Amino acid sequence: MNREQIQSVLREEYDQQRWLQVLRRILPGTEVFATPQAVPVSVPGAPSPVQLARVRLADHKQLAVLEVKVGERIDLLRNRVGLRNLVTRFIDQAEYHGVLAVFLAPQADFRFTFAARMAEFDDEGNLLRRETAPRRYTYVLGPNESCRTAAERFLHLSSKGLSGTMEDVIEAFSVEKLNKEFFADFSTAFDRVKSEIQKRNRWGEKTAKEEAQTLLNRLLFLYFVQRKGWLNRQRDYLFRNFSRFADGASNKVPFLDGFLRPLFTKLSTEGSLADIPGHDLPFLNGGLFADEYGDEQHDEVVRRHHDLQVSNEVFRSVFDDLLERYNFTIQEDSPTNYEVAIDPEMLGQIFEELVLTSEESETAGKSKRHDTGSHYTRRPIVHYLCRDSLRAWLEQSPPSPILNPKSAPAPFRWASCTSCSTSRGSAPPAPPAKTPSWATAPGSTTPRNALSSALFTAWTSNPRPWRFANSASGSASWWITS
């Protein structure tokens, strides 16, 4: 199969037999079971996976191929941790070293996940007991996704044939590799747009860099916005409208003049004054799309934005070789959950590595990044800092009146441990004999603050481990125990 054929299958709604046929082409060591085997689960009410096949790799490792159907009440994005735990229990390091799982929901799109916990051995062949959380890497596939990155990765994996190893599978799901590829393609697109601006507008290199960066920043940001369905409720809004200018007679009208400028004006204008007929578009405050005159300090920049000319041919290369080549996601990952797509963190990486590094130093240093000491803090570090700060806050904050758990601060929710045998609907056990240290001030039974009070009240109704998670993404979570 070539890349286009694989991509075509990945963009269709899930069909078990067709999917297994493709999987056997990608991983020839796949052995499909005559009858799917049910996988027992210990959590009441959890989805029941079935094992469809096993994959034998050249390095004597095996992967289990699972299918998990979830109900309408389970949000695949908000329950990523629970679903990960559901499949990673299957990794026993004896028979299976990893899992390939298809998660199916009532929606047309589905999630294809690879999870593994790698055991390490010393020079004498002894198993090194190094417990690490299994990492989960996911592609979102189906009719609403481009699936180009997945198709390219799986085509490369299929070229390994029966010699494919666990490292090859890991590479096919590598987020780090994806980010490096995107950054390289972004740099190429940046250079092409900059050269086009210099040639067509007769501006110096510094000015051309600034205009190229502004234009690409706007397009990249809008790709995340359209992912949420905020641009005319179409997740392909930008490319769909570009196609009107890239084909036929419309090619005589520049895409920048005929579509992007009116779009930027609408996005930066509150109310209906700049509405585009037939387009449902939001007002995006913040100044990224503002091109209005009135501020003498910025009038020259605004004038350049209005005079800027870029050909449709260059826009075609930006779409084909960069923006349409990758999947974009608005779900920010946790240290153990990764969606194989470009997420908003890429905006910070581009600013740090391309913009600040390329800008000249104002103090005879290596670059502006060197002058300012600017460094984009990576997600695992932020995750650790937030967790540690919350722990310190719970320990040191002064007491406050007791709150009911339902009155806890709005950004937070409570969820009992998925491994607990007692369900939320059953009678609560007796309160704990000892008040947890995190709930009260030293030598007192008074809750430290409103948040710890809500935690304690919820915990006393079910004194088992509780998971504390940010409801916006579900990615930052901690286990609260006595």
Write the DSSP symbol of residue 260.
I
Residue 248 lies in a domain: yes
State whether the Cα torsion 436-438-439-445 is positive or negative: positive
335 and 187 share one domain: yes
- For residues 278 and 269, is the Cβ–Cβ distance under 8 A? no
Q: Is residue 376 part of a domain?
A: no
Provide the β-strand partners of residue 102. 67, 112
Residue-level pLDDT at 277: 93
Do 119 and 192 lie in one domain? The reply is no
The per-residue DSSP string of 122-174 comes to -TTSPEE----PPEEEEEEESTTS--HHHHHHHHHHHTTGGG--HHHHHHHT-
Q: Do 42 and 138 sit in the same domain of this protein?
A: yes
Residue 67 lies in a domain: yes
CA distance 333 to 345: 10
pLDDT score for 42: 55
- pTM for this model (two decimals): 0.64
Q: Is residue 394 part of a domain?
A: yes
**What span, in angstroms and rounded, lies between the C-alpha atoms of 426 and 438?**
26
| Cβ atoms of 448 and 395 closer than 8 Å | yes
Say if 368 falls within a structural domain: no
Q: What is the pLDDT of residue 432?
A: 43
Could you tell me if 134 and 214 lie in one domain? no
Cα distances (Å, whole numbers) of residue 438 to 247, 394, 411, 412, 462:
64, 6, 20, 17, 16
What pLDDT is recorded for position 476?
A: 37
Give every CB contact of residue 25 below 8 A, 6+ residues apart in sequence: 1, 158
The pLDDT of residue 414 is: 38
Boundary (domain end) residue, out of 123, 145, 167: 145
Which structural domain range is residue 7 located in? 3-145
Tokens of 474: 């579900």
Whether 7 contacts 139, CB under 8 Å: no
Beta-bridged to residue 98, according to DSSP, are 63, 116
List per-residue pLDDT tens for the chain, 482 residues long.
899 999 999 999 999 999 999 999 999 999 999 999 988 765 555 567 899 999 999 999 999 999 988 766 555 545 555 555 666 667 765 688 888 999 888 878 898 988 886 555 555 555 444 333 445 688 889 998 889 889 999 999 999 999 999 999 989 988 878 888 888 999 999 999 999 999 999 899 989 998 999 999 999 999 999 988 899 999 899 999 999 887 655 457 899 999 999 999 999 998 888 899 999 999 988 788 887 765 555 678 888 888 999 999 999 999 999 999 888 887 665 555 567 778 777 777 777 766 655 555 455 556 555 666 666 676 667 777 887 888 887 777 655 444 444 444 444 433 333 333 333 334 334 444 444 444 444 444 544 444 444 544 444 444 444 444 433 333 333 334 33
User: Are 243 and 386 members of one domain?
Assistant: no
Boundary (domain end) residue, out of 343, 367, 394 = 343
Tokens of 389: 């700060």
pLDDT score for 402: 43
Domain count, the chain: 3
Residue 187 lies in a domain: yes
Residues 456 and 404 in one domain: yes
Among the listed residues 247, 248, 245, the one whose alpha carbon sits nearest the alpha carbon of residue 256: 245
Q: What is the reported pLDDT for 341?
A: 77
Q: Quick one: 124 and 211 in the same domain?
A: no
Pick from 72, 68, 65: which is nearest to 111 by CA? 68
Q: How far, in Å, CA of 155 to CA of 380, rounded?
A: 31
Residues 136, 40, single domain; the answer is yes
- Whether residues 20 and 113 share a domain: the answer is yes
Residues 410 and 452 in one domain: yes
Residue 378 DSSP code: P
Residue 172 is predicted with a pLDDT of 92
Please give the sequence-ordered ranges of beta strands (E in DSSP) within 291-411, or none if there are none: 337-339
- 352 falls within a domain: no
| The pLDDT of residue 237 | 95
What local confidence, expressed as pLDDT, does residue 461 receive? 46
Residues 335 and 440 in one domain: no
282 in the same domain as 135: no
Is 55 a member of any domain? yes
